[in-house]
Structure 1
Amino acid sequence: MKKAGILNRHLSGALAELGHGDGVLVCDAGMPIPDGPRVVDLAFRAGVPSFAEVLAGLLDELVVEGATAAREIRDANPEASALLDACFPGLALVSHEELKRMTREARLVVRTGEARPYANVLLRCGVFF
């Protein structure tokens, strides 16, 4: 049994299968999830677990070379916007519709219980060397 890091066996296993360039969408409870990507649904109740908690846990385990979010986050969710800016200085912004389209190409979707709008980010996996 693991003693640290992500303990959820479905999420831990999905992360181990990721490679360079793979996309991982970390999303709020309301983001529509297309058929295709593997989904690990962590949502328990509204707000639990939060977008920030899940993102922090993922960033402890993943090498991320880029991130994309919806530009609507700027006005609709300043707290999540500030979090993403702090985590990803080169954060790319696209329309929410474009982010939903890009999600179809993701390898993994991690759904949180976040109940605030536009708390979604598409991560692009990097390599550790």
Structure 2
Amino acid sequence: MKRAGILNRHLAGALAELGHGHGVLVCDAGMPIPDGPRVVDLAFRAGVPSFAEVLDGLLAELVVEGATAAKEVRDANPAAAALLEGEFPGLELVPHERLKELSAGARLIVRTGEARPYANVLLRCGVFF
């Protein structure tokens, strides 16, 4: 058994398969999930697990070279906007409809139980060297 890190076997396995340039969408419970990408659904109840908890766990295990979020997050969910802008100084903001289009090209989608709007981010994997 793993001692630390992500214990969910489906998520840990999916992360191990990621490579440079692959996209990982971390999303709230309301984000439409497109057909195609692998999905690991962690949602249990409204707000559990939270977007912030899941993002924190993923960032401890992934190398991220870029991130994209919906520009609507700034007005609709200032806490999520502050979190994202703090973690990703070069955060790209696009209209929510564009983020939904981009999510179809993600390699992995991790759905949280987050129940606040626009708590979504598309991560672009980097390399550790």
Q: Secondary structure at the match of 2:49?
A: coil
**Structure 2 length normalisation: TM-score?**
1.00
Counterpart position of 2:4: 4
**Displacement of 1:41 after TM fit?**
0.1
Counterpart position of 1:40: 40
Runs of 4+ in 1 over 3 A off after TM superposition: none
Q: Secondary structure at the match of 1:122?
A: strand
Task: For 2:50, give the aligned amino acid.
Answer: S
Superposed CA deviations along residues 46-97 of structure 1, whole A, max 9, x for unmatched, are: 0000000000000000000000000000000000000000000000000000
Counterpart position of 1:116: 116
Superposed CA deviations along residues 76-122 of structure 1, whole A, max 9, x for unmatched, are: 00000000000000000000000000000000000000000000000
- Structure 1 gap ranges (5+): none
Counterpart position of 1:71: 71
**Structure 1 length normalisation: TM-score?**
1.00
- Structure 2 gap ranges (5+): none
Cα distance in structure 2, aligned partners of 1:105 and 1:45: 27
Task: Provide the identity percentage.
Answer: 84
User: In the TM superposition, what are the counterparts of 1:1-129 in structure 2 within 5 Å?
Assistant: 1-129=1-129
Q: Secondary structure at the match of 2:21?
A: coil
After superposition, the CA RMSD in angstroms is 0.2
